[in-house]
Every structure is written in C-alpha cells, then in structure tokens.
Structure 1
C-alpha cells in the first residue's frame, strides 16, 4: 500500500473516543432532566456539546432544555452523580491496543482533553495501564488554554504538539500528525489545527452526522472503531 502521509505523532481526544464516558455523561444528564420532566438528551444535541469545556457545554444544555437551574446548581448535581460512575468507565474497542502499539513503535502520543485535571484523574485513575503511556497530557484547565479557546478552536492540539516537540527536541508539524476525535467540535478543531483527522463518532450518533464527506472536507476519514484504523496508510 502507498503511504498517504508519513505520520510522526498522534494526538487523542479522550471522552467518547478512548473511554466510554460519553455514555456516562448521557446517563447523568438524563437523571437531572427527568427530575424536571425534560429530555431525554438526544444525539442531535449531544453532538453540539461534545468537546466543549464544562461551562460552555452545561450552559448550552440548560438553555436548550429550559432547565430552571444555574450552571452551578446543575454542575453540582451532575458532578455528584458522575463521581459515582467514573470508576466504572472502560476503554472503547481498539483504544488500548492502539495506544500500546504507538508507544511500542516510538510514535509520540499526546492526550488533549477538554476535561479538567480533576475529572481526568477521576476517569482514568483505574486505567493507568494505558494512560500512563502518553508522552504528554493537556487538560481543559491548562493555563496555556485561554478562556473561550476550547474546541472547536485548534489551541489544545497546538499545546499538545508543542509539549511533544519540547520533550523530544523535534519539530513535528501539524501536517505530520493524526488528530483522533469522536465529536464534531473536535473534528473542526483538528481540521483547523492542520492534522489528518480520524473521526470515530458514537454509534448512536450516525443518524445525525449529516454529509460526512462534506464535513471532513478531504482532511480525514470516519471509522466505526479504532480497530478499523489502517496503520500502514499513515506509515505507522
């Protein structure tokens, strides 16, 4: 097979791509919505929330469903429920295998998640056999990520790549990276960053994706799971 692009680094989103936390987000949101006779949370709405920092996602949710709550009230209820469920989350198909493969083949890998540091640790502390392999981790509360510059802005990928280049003394460019994402805002940010985007949306989102080819604009591909990645295509 002809290599389409020689990839030198891989940058990963986390929620809904590597681990099944998007399902947990849906469950906890629906618990709150049900209390106010609202909902349920549907994927046409979730697609607008994925990858956004917590405050932005929560505010959009409250506005869409007309919940009589402040963000602080909603967040307190949501976090209390989530905290009981994070220890149950698991890797999604192909995720752990891909992380280990890239690590074993000395391909620099960075995690770039909109989750803040506290949530990142809550979600991953029982999954260290995998997350410990990342060369760099950037969370949504990283001080280098300015307010309002979360996804769909490309900044978090730029920060992640800079950490890799600083660590290894390399000068890898965005064009030499794959950005792995599950959410539409993340795909937009990956395209703006300049990387090749591998989009792995939740299977329940398929009916709401629209024209996939038009959305990707020739800057990536959509897969059903990370198991479907053709590594040879990218020279991995």
Structure 2
C-alpha cells in the first residue's frame, strides 16, 4: 500500500472573515433576476452559470468586463448600468439571510478560541460597493450588527489598490488588518493561518487561499454543478481565476486548508477550535 500524506495540524481559528453576496444573503439570486430582465428586454438568452461563475465575487469593473464581452447587448454600458441600477433599487431591499447564517453569526458573536479564552473575531470582506451594500443591508441592521463598523471592508474601500480585488488576496488581508489594529490590550496579533474565510464564489476562495488563510466554500447549487469534478482545484485556489499573478501564494490540491459545505447550518465549530458555550445574540 502507498503511503498517505498526513494533513497538517492547524492552530485554532481566531478570526472568521465573511464574504456577503451569495454567502450571507440571497443577493446573488437578485443579481440574476435583474440581469436576466435586461437580457430578456433585448432578446438575449438568460445569463448562464458558466459566465456567472466567472463574475461572482469580483469587483464591479472586472465582473462587468466579463459580462459585456459575453452579452453583446445593443446598448452602451452606461445605459445598461442605468437600467440595472433601477432594478437593483427594487430588488436589493428584499434580500434575506441564507440558511444557517443567523445562527452561525449569533454563535460567533459569543464564541471563544479553544484553549485560549480569547474572543473569536469576525470581519466582513465584500466586493459590494457602499451604495449597494446600503440597499442590501438597511433592513437587516440587527443582523449586520455583529460586524463592527471598522471591521467592514467594502469593494470601494480606498485602502484596496486599484485592480487588486478578488481573486487577489488584498481584501482579506485588509480585513485581517482591521482586526489586528483593534485587538484588546495584551492579545497577540492574529496570523493568516488562524483565519477562516467563508466564501461562495470561486474567485473568493482563491483570494482567501492567496492570503494564506483557511477557507470554507459554500457555493450556490448551480455553481457547485458547474465545478463538478474540480472541487479540489477550487479548494486549493488553483482554478486560474487570477492568471499567473502571485502563483507562489496558491494552495496545493488536497492540502486540507479548505473544505466544501452544502450550507452553513450545523457548522462544525469543534473542527476549527471554536468554542460556543452559550446562545448567540441573533
């Protein structure tokens, strides 16, 4: 029998970093509704998941380039954005949390690090710009209260260099920085390997892996179907979403640093060294 390479021994997770669209909220479905309404108006087919998969998680400019190259609409990009914005103003205020998310965030709001007693820190790292973030979250203020204001990193954050959105690691490294610059006195800085990135998109998983962090991939069922047989590549961040940039930062297939979950219900806290002793506040 051949030898089996043992999985690495990981430190307990001290920080959980969250994407938003399609991970915390059902907003990816709202994006599809808005996009397909415009495509239908101009006699174009619905957006296929093969294209949507490439767009997910990326900054607006990068996502738009992929979309417009595929759609070949008979209107300008400016006109498309006008029509899209009108539809989004209608649909985004109706988004709701996905299964298991409220319980998970509530639990993490009171969770401790196993063997240390420190609080588990959480931060938000979303490619959504401030205006759309407001549309999606104004009716969910209590839900988002677990993310302290200074630990919310949005897609138009000026601290993220131009062109360095997901699948590059900058947004997650910045989210970690917001935690480390606001730790209680005496608590040592959180290291990247002590962070767990929660993502639904393939570029987002790659961003987390490039940041040197562990990751949980919770994709839309249609996206999971799109990557059937390639799950190990996704978890390693090796689907090539960012091209040949910083390839030394990628994971290795089967390295145990990431896993797939169907949803965020019944999250395995113990596996990650997270202790939840009492009910959360959500």
TM-score (norm 2): 0.80
Partner SS, residue 125 of structure 1: helix
Query: 2:138 aligns to what?
Result: 125
Residue 179 (str. 1) matches residue 192 (str. 2): no
CA distance in 1 between partners of 2:33 and 2:11 (Å): 39
- The answer as to whether partners of 2:51 and 2:66 remain within 8 angstroms in 1 is no
Q: 1:50 aligns with which of 43, 46, 56?
A: 56
How far is 1:69 from its partner?
A: 2.9
How far is 1:214 from its partner?
A: 2.9
Q: 2:216 aligns with which of 179, 198, 222?
A: 198
Over residues 121-166 of structure 1, what are the superposed CA-to-partner deviations in whole Å (9 max), with x where a residue is unaligned? Answer: 1101111122111131000000001111000000000110000110
Query: 1:232 aligns to what?
Result: 270
| Matching of residues 15-94 of structure 1 within 5 Å | 15-94=21-100
- The answer as to whether partners of 1:178 and 1:196 remain within 8 angstroms in 2 is yes
Q: 1:13 aligns with which of 19, 29, 53?
A: 19
RMSD over aligned Cα atoms: 1.3
Unaligned ranges ≥5, structure 1: none
Structure 1 residue ranges (4+ consecutive) displaced by more than 4 angstroms after TM superposition: none
CA distance in 2 between partners of 1:70 and 1:178 (Å): 40
Higher relative contact order, structure no. (Cα contacts within 8 Å, ≥ 6 residues apart): 1
Instruction: Give 1 or 2 for the bigger CA radius of gyration.
Output: 2
How far is 1:58 from its partner?
A: 1.7
TM-score (norm 1): 0.95
Higher helix proportion: 1
CA distance in 1 between partners of 2:126 and 2:147 (Å): 12
- The answer as to whether partners of 1:55 and 1:71 remain within 8 angstroms in 2 is no
Unaligned ranges ≥5, structure 2: 1-8, 112-118, 236-252, 275-282
